[in-house]
Amino acid sequence: MNMDRSLSTASSTTTRKVGDGVSDQFPAGLRVLVVDDDPTCLKIIEKMLWNCLYEVTTCTRAEVALSMLRESRSAFDIVLSDVHMPDMNGFKLLEHIGLEMDLPVIMMSADDGKDVVMKGVTHGACDYLIKPVRIEAIKNIWQHVVRKRRNELKDFEQSGSVEDSDRPRITTDDADYASSVNEGSWKSSKRRKDEDDEGEERDDTSTLKKPRVVWSVELHQQFVAAVNLLGIDKAVPKKILELMNVPGLSRENVASHLQKYRLYLRRLSGVNTPFMGPEEANFRSMSSLDGLDLQAFAVSGQLPHQSIATLQAGLARTTTTTGISMPDQRNIFDSEISKLRFGYGQQLCNSGKQVSILPGLPTSMEPKQLPHLPHLPQSVQSFGGVGFQVSEGTSAFLNTSTSLRTTLSNHMHGLHGNHGSPLMMQMAQTRSRAPSLNETAGGHASRIPSTIGQQIFSNEISGQVLERSKTILNGKSAGCNPVSQASSVVDFSMNHMTELAGNGIPLASGTEIFTLTSTGMLQEGGNMGLQGSRGFAPRYDMFNELRQPKTHDWELQNVGLNFDTSQSLNSIVQSNTNHTPSVLGNQGFASRKKIGQNMNMYVVGNAVISSGEANGHGITENSAQRPNNPLVENSFGVKFEAIPDLICERLLIADHLGQDDLMTALLKQQQGVGLVESEYNFDGYTMDNIPV
Amino acid sequence: MDVSQMQRQLVDYTASLFREGFLDDQFTQLQQLQDESNPDFVIEVVSLFFEDSERLVNDLGRALNQPIVDFKKVDAHVHQLKGSSSSIGAERVKNSCIAFRNFCEEQNTEGCLRCLQQVKQEYFLVKNKLESLFRLEQQILAAGGSIPLVE
């Protein structure tokens, strides 16, 4: 009251809370999540942020923070995290966030040792603050948000910058595209991408709004297949473009995607232990991403053997080909990969360290699965690739079966949950990030995308895989099931999937499966399993998009892919939350807007999902609409079950991330039949059914 | 003592705390963060610090008295104490934590125990000082005066 103390910066103004993100008074209203186990520091930083007119949410535990983020990825713009925390290493959290949500993360610590700061850099932190933190440092954190968004946009839009050699061969179109990154690309991509959803403008703030080419799972698979055919060293955008033969796809699009992919690969192989050779790495990446990565992880040693075995068993069961045997995981993947020519898969496995097996992400599984995907071998592959990036991240996630659960859930959340296309976003992000991040975060960037991808895959795949590997997953995912709760999003609901099986797909254990999908969402439904619908919402989009080719009755076709099923599933699943499925459809991924442009991938998903809406699910837009998401997820989950392929595919596709497994799973599914065969599950990975 | 006298006393007292190294610039930051919307901010934060530190000091004592000392754990506690003390500007406590961590690295139990003593001492000292400071502030406020900003 009578404190004459100088007022802090606060300017009394107005809107302290903006509510949905960037407000006009940006940076005021920036939504910050602070994680620190030290209550003193937390309070101080909270006050500082408050004084800067930011919207603050505090958290003393990393797990809680992660679940909050998963639940609603778009609820925050930036995260501040302490490095040393009792329940989870700050860097781990950083990785998770990067992969799953691709939000900018600033690390803080009283520790200013060079190696710790370096760790922050390599893990992808966009800044590192030394405690005690001063308000001046806090005031400027908004720059990271803007920078990230711009980079995403730029990365995404950028054409062929990586492929210098191709530059001269740019066609007029390309030239057009290349001339002005934003404008040109927008136009050209718009023109060219009839196949993808162009319109996803992620930019929600000051960034440019450019339609991005959405690298759907399918597209990515095709991309990866083409790259593999040509050989990663010889793959040039022009040739890839030719091989892919996708109307509307420009060389620039391919070039930038390739750049990201390469970065991703590099990261994967760099991160991974020498465990896999370049080829393997490729494969690995695929596998890792696929959610089946679990296997990968297992292989990489990340996953506990038993879990892996279980997974494998499960997978093996379901996926005839997958054969994710642990010991041979790599091999399997490799072989799978070779089949698929995915480069991604294995990476995850290899990246031992990365192998944080996403709880749901059967990374390892994926690679295998992919081959099976008849339908989308390519797309799957692409995911794999994409997944790679993700894989990296995922590996981290996949670490343990339990983590599987969580990871998956996390991922799933990321993927499904909040934003429907977390994966996508991530992927998108990663992609854009990859180039930029690679430099810095090295693996991190890739991780992030992969995480997302993985997650998505994981989730989805998890679901699928889970189903298949019910045994495996169940064992492992024991976590998964449990995960259903907040973290289990990843659970891929394998368990749930089975439930979802309503369609006929025998859902494995519980409905946890979906947990993966929308971590956030799943939780909502409480049914971890089917929750998927929620979480899947975003996913659905992906899948929907992906699925298009497949169009199973489920729905994938409509985007509502998931949704449709979800509808049915919903009833089955508990996902009660039939939030408007539509949400997912379009927006699910779109929600990722936050994520920015990258999310195109997801966007696709979203778009797809929106179709879902038709179902009535109205998948909410991924983002935060949790409530909606649940539907999506549910539908997703349901879908999974019913449409194992679809889902898987979608997932895979969506995930680009490399969820090779997903793809495979999806593919399998497609082939399969339906879920019934697949045990339901997430066979995404085990794509037995994948009609490869 | 009238209000202005109390205010003068407060200013002098605060200045001495800074001079003697009990408090550093970070404490000033805290004071500057305080505003009308949060008039007890500094007291709240410092109270949190006291609670947390006491817990940490107890944990440290326990950990160091184990037959087999887990230095990683000890280091983690010290690190945290260092972080929170530096955040509120308790400079001497922070410095003693730095020394403490060195002994942890060397896995020197004796050295650690000595440091713990030092930390405890510094902690209680600064606690007393701050409590006196707050008391003085409250008195001024109760008497209708305002708290002068100490630079």
Domain ranges in chain B? 3-142
Structure tokens at A86: 């009792």
What is the rounded distance in angstroms from the CA atom of residue A682 to the CA atom of residue A675?
Answer: 9
Q: What's the pLDDT at A212? A: 59
Residue of B nearest to A44 (CA): B45
Question: Confidence band (pLDDT; 50, 70, 90) for B150?
Answer: low
Question: Confidence band (pLDDT; 50, 70, 90) for A611?
Answer: very low
DSSP 8-state assignment for residue A585: I
At A436-483, the pLDDT tens digits run 333 333 334 334 444 333 443 434 443 343 344 343 333 333 333 333
Using an 8 Å CB-CB cutoff, list chain B residues near A38.
52, 80, 83-84, 87
What is the rounded distance in angstroms from the CA atom of residue B64 to the CA atom of residue B66?
Answer: 5
Residues on chain B bordering chain A, Cβ-to-Cβ distance under 8 angstroms: 26, 29-39, 41, 44-45, 48-49, 51-52, 76, 79-80, 82-84, 86-89, 141, 145-149
**Dihedral pair phi/psi, residue A363, rounded to 5°:** -60, -45
Q: What's the pLDDT at A92? A: 87
A229 CB burial (10 A radius; 0-12, 13-18, 19+):
middle
Q: Which of B82, B84, B85 to mutate to test the interface with A (most CBs of A within 10 A)?
A: B84
Q: What's the pLDDT at A293? A: 40
Say yes or no: ipTM exceeds 0.90. Answer: yes
Higher pLDDT, A115 or A257: A115
To the question of pTM greater than 0.80 for the whole model, the response is: no
- The minimum CA-CA distance between A43 and chain B, rounded to whole Å, is 7
Name the average pLDDT for chain A.
Answer: 53
Q: Half-sphere exposure of A16 toward its Cβ, with a 13 Å CA cutoff?
A: 16
The helix (H) or strand (E) run that includes residue A534 is helix A528-550
Q: Would an 8 Å CB–CB cutoff place A553 in contact with chain B? A: no
Q: For residue A37, is pLDDT > 80?
A: yes
Using an 8 Å CB-CB cutoff, list chain A residues near B30.
44
Q: Which of B37, B46, B50, B141 to mutate to test the interface with A (most CBs of A within 10 A)?
A: B37
Q: Determine whether the interchain pair A110/B36 forms a contact, defined as Cβ–Cβ distance below 8 Å.
A: no
Q: Are A287 and A664 in contact (CB under 8 A)?
A: no
At A316-326, the pLDDT tens digits run 444 443 333 34
Q: What's the pLDDT at A49? A: 93
Q: Which of B36, B39, B79 sits opposite A84 (nearest CB)?
A: B79
CA-closest candidate to residue A490, choices A363, A392, A376, A612: A363
Peptide bond between residue A27 and the one before it cis (omega within 30 degrees of 0) = yes
Q: For residue B45, is pLDDT > 90?
A: yes
Of the candidate ranges A18-22, A99-103, A634-638, B57-61, the one whose mean pLDDT is the lowest = A634-638
Q: Would an 8 Å CB–CB cutoff place A169 in contact with chain B? A: no
Residue of A nearest to B75 (CA): A84
Using an 8 Å CB-CB cutoff, list chain A residues near B32.
5-6, 8, 135
Q: For residue A91, is pLDDT > 60?
A: yes
At A508-546, the pLDDT tens digits run 333 333 333 333 333 333 333 333 333 333 343 444 444
Q: What is the mean pLDDT of residues A235-253?
A: 82
- The minimum CA-CA distance between B30 and chain A, rounded to whole Å, is 8
Q: What's the pLDDT at B16? A: 94
Q: Are A635 and A573 in contact (CB under 8 A)?
A: no
> Which superfamily does B3-142 belong to?
HPT domain (1.20.120.160)
The helix (H) or strand (E) run that includes residue A667 is helix A660-672
Q: What's the pLDDT at B88? A: 92
Q: Which of B6, B81, B87, B149 to mutate to test the interface with A (most CBs of A within 10 A)?
A: B87
Q: For residue B43, is pLDDT > 90?
A: yes
- The minimum CA-CA distance between A123 and chain B, rounded to whole Å, is 21
Of the candidate ranges A25-34, A143-152, A537-546, A661-670, the one whose mean pLDDT is the lowest = A537-546
At A160-182, the pLDDT tens digits run 444 444 444 444 444 444 444 44
Question: Confidence band (pLDDT; 50, 70, 90) for B121?
Answer: very high
Q: What is the mean pLDDT of residues A669-691?
A: 44
Peptide bond between residue A168 and the one before it cis (omega within 30 degrees of 0) = no
Q: Determine whether the interchain pair B86/A51 forms a contact, defined as Cβ–Cβ distance below 8 Å.
A: no
Q: What's the pLDDT at A560? A: 36
Q: Are A386 and A344 in contact (CB under 8 A)?
A: yes
Q: What is the mean pLDDT of residues A63-91?
A: 88
Q: What percent of chain A has pLDDT over 70?
A: 27
Q: What is the mean pLDDT of residues B88-92?
A: 93
- The minimum CA-CA distance between B37 and chain A, rounded to whole Å, is 9
